């Protein structure tokens, strides 16, 4: 416990800049081919996204840091960072492979038995499989350890019963990493008794029901388990001890460029709407926003550097997500104010208004998904020695 914060300065090495050039050229081709539109408003359908993910995999940009024997490319976290930020900044359609690349793959690498790693990881790297995360339940959201969905021991495996909810992409996913209760919590440790499993979504006894979001999009699902059988070798890591495995995962999940770039297109749009010679108010507002996003990016690069150095920057990662998501949430509101006096007929105004409307609509979720602001501040406070 220390109050001493560290964000080491990272200068991206030359191989990162070469790679950045390759990624930009690839994305330019995809844009030209009409695979997606920059700006996030209209996302391509599942089959187009699947083709895109396979092309990304073919470039070697999924599982970049993983061992070659599992289909990985043994490149650095900083190189992975460059690919991720280039994709996020332009809202490339990564939803089918991104969860596997960011967190499911690393969990399997660490905790799955060898034959499962040999089977699943190369397919992730080729962009062929989609993962979902089964954590939240109707009675258990931020309070992860209140999960009730049960994994009951049976011959050769476990029978799963219960319901996961808010499960993004479950309707498209081939696999889920699910958190299930294998034992009741103990008096002294309420976090005890949960186990992570690799769930094949084609397993009989699993039903996926759509939950439409207020934007009209279908991303969330309810996943119902009725005596779904999980073989023993699909339990990941220590039975009853998932809580010990959760913390390092958080540093990966929380500090990446996706935690401050989700509404970045609004800033790009604002620059277009304000034009080459903004008024004083527009210029000042724009300058402050750029200073913020620049700082967030440097923080995120720094955490990637710490991951590369083998550290577990959980507090630093939580700080990046707290500041990043609050910022990306405020961005549409701020951009709206700054563009208030831009003529309705001005160039780029119409496109910008559409993006603004979309970003305004999705803004509330940004400080909820993947760990709420309140949970993050609790983690930071613990890091400061207050809890």
Does 309 interact with another protein (rule: CB under 8 A)? no
- Residue in 65, 149, 292, 367 binding another protein, rule: CB under 8 A: 292
Specify the stretch interacting with another protein by CB under 8 A; choose among 104-112, 175-183, 229-237, 296-304.
296-304
The site map against another protein for 220-239 (x = CB under 8 A) is --------------------
Nearest approach, Cβ of 272 to another protein (angstroms)?
4
Whole-number Å distance between alpha carbons of 132 and 70: 20
Does 256 interact with another protein (rule: CB under 8 A)? no
| 249 and 320 Cβ atoms separated by less than 8 Å | no
Does 319 interact with another protein (rule: CB under 8 A)? yes
Does 169 interact with another protein (rule: CB under 8 A)? no
| Residue 231, token pair as written in the block | 């073989």
- Residue in 99, 274, 304, 363 binding another protein, rule: CB under 8 A: 274
Whole-number Å distance between alpha carbons of 106 and 11: 25
Nearer CB in complex with another protein: 64/270: 270
Does 267 interact with another protein (rule: CB under 8 A)? yes
Whole-number Å distance between alpha carbons of 83 and 308: 15
| Residue 318, token pair as written in the block | 């939580």
Does 195 interact with another protein (rule: CB under 8 A)? no
Nearest approach, Cβ of 279 to another protein (angstroms)?
10
- Give how far the C-alpha of residue 41 lies from the chain's centroid of Cα atoms, to the nearest Å: 18
The three-state secondary structure class of 282 is helix
Spatial CA neighbour of 84 closest among 58, 100, 62, 110: 62
Nearer CB in complex with another protein: 194/293: 293
Does 40 interact with another protein (rule: CB under 8 A)? no
Residue 260 CB contacts under 8 Å (≥ 6 apart), including other chains: 293, 296, 297, 300, 320, 323, 324, 325, 327, 328
Number of residues this chain uses to bind another protein (CB under 8 A): 59
Whole-number Å distance between alpha carbons of 136 and 145: 10
Does 217 interact with another protein (rule: CB under 8 A)? no
Q: Which helix (H) or strand (E) holds 151?
A: strand 150-154
| Residue 302, token pair as written in the block | 């720094």
Does 375 interact with another protein (rule: CB under 8 A)? no
Nearest approach, Cβ of 271 to another protein (angstroms)?
4
Nearer CB in complex with another protein: 23/363: 23
Nearest approach, Cβ of 5 to another protein (angstroms)?
5
- Residue in 91, 195, 221, 302 binding another protein, rule: CB under 8 A: 302
Does 187 interact with another protein (rule: CB under 8 A)? no
Whole-number Å distance between alpha carbons of 59 and 39: 23
Whole-number Å distance between alpha carbons of 190 and 181: 12
Whole-number Å distance between alpha carbons of 21 and 336: 32
The three-state secondary structure class of 15 is helix
Nearest approach, Cβ of 308 to another protein (angstroms)?
16
Does 7 interact with another protein (rule: CB under 8 A)? yes
Does 325 interact with another protein (rule: CB under 8 A)? no
Nearer CB in complex with another protein: 315/366: 315
| Residue 308, token pair as written in the block | 């590369």
Compute the Cα dihedral for 162, 165, 170, 175 and give only its sign. Answer: negative
Q: Provide Rg for the chain, Cα atoms.
A: 21
Nearest approach, Cβ of 327 to another protein (angstroms)?
10
Residues that bind another protein (CB under 8 A): 3-5, 7, 9, 11-12, 20, 85-86, 89-90, 264, 267-269, 271-272, 274-278, 280, 282-288, 290-299, 302, 315-316, 319, 322-323, 348, 374, 376-378, 380-381, 383-387
């Amino acid at each position: 416990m220390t109050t001493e914060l560290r964000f080491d300065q990272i200068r991206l090495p030359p191989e990162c800049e070469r790679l950045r050039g390759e990624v930009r050229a690839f994305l330019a081709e995809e844009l030209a081919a009409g695979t997606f539109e920059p700006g996030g408003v209209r996302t391509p359908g599942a089959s187009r996204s699947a083709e895109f993910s396979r092309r990304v995999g073919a470039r070697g940009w999924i599982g970049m840091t993983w061992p070659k024997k599992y289909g990985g490319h043994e490149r650095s976290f900083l190189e992975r960072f460059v690919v991720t930020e280039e994709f996020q900044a332009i809202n490339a359609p990564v939803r089918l492979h991104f969860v596997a690349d960011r967190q499911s793959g690393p969990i399997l690498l660490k905790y799955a038995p060898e034959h499962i790693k040999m089977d699943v990881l190369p397919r992730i790297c080729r962009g062929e499989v989609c993962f979902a995360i089964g954590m939240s339940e109707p009675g258990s959201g931020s309070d992860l350890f209140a999960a009730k969905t049960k994994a009951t021991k049976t011959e050769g495996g476990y029978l799963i019963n219960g319901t996961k909810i808010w499960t993004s992409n479950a309707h498209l996913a081939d696999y889920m990493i699910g958190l299930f209760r294998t034992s009741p919590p103990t008096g002294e440790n309420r976090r005890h008794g949960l186990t992570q499993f690799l769930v094949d979504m084609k397993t009989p006894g699993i039903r996926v029901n759509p939950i439409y979001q207020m934007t009209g999009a279908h991303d969330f699902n309810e996943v119902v388990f009725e005596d779904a059988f999980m073989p023993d070798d699909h339990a990941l890591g220590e039975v009853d001890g998932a809580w010990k495995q959760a913390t390092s995962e958080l540093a990966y999940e929380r500090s990446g460029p996706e935690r401050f770039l989700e509404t970045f297109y609004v800033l790009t749009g604002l620059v277009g709407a304000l034009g080459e010679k903004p008024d004083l108010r527009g210029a000042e507002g724009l300058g402050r926003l750029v200073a913020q996003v620049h700082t967030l990016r440097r923080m995120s690069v720094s955490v990637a550097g710490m991951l590369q150095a083998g550290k577990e920057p959980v507090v630093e990662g939580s700080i990046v997500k707290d500041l990043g998501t609050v910022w990306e949430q405020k961005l549409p509101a701020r951009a709206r104010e700054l563009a208030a006096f831009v003529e309705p007929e001005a160039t780029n105004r119409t496109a910008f208004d559409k993006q603004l409307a979309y970003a305004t609509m999705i803004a509330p979720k940004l400080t909820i998904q993947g760990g709420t602001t309140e949970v993050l501040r609790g983690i930071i406070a613990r890091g400061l020695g207050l809890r």
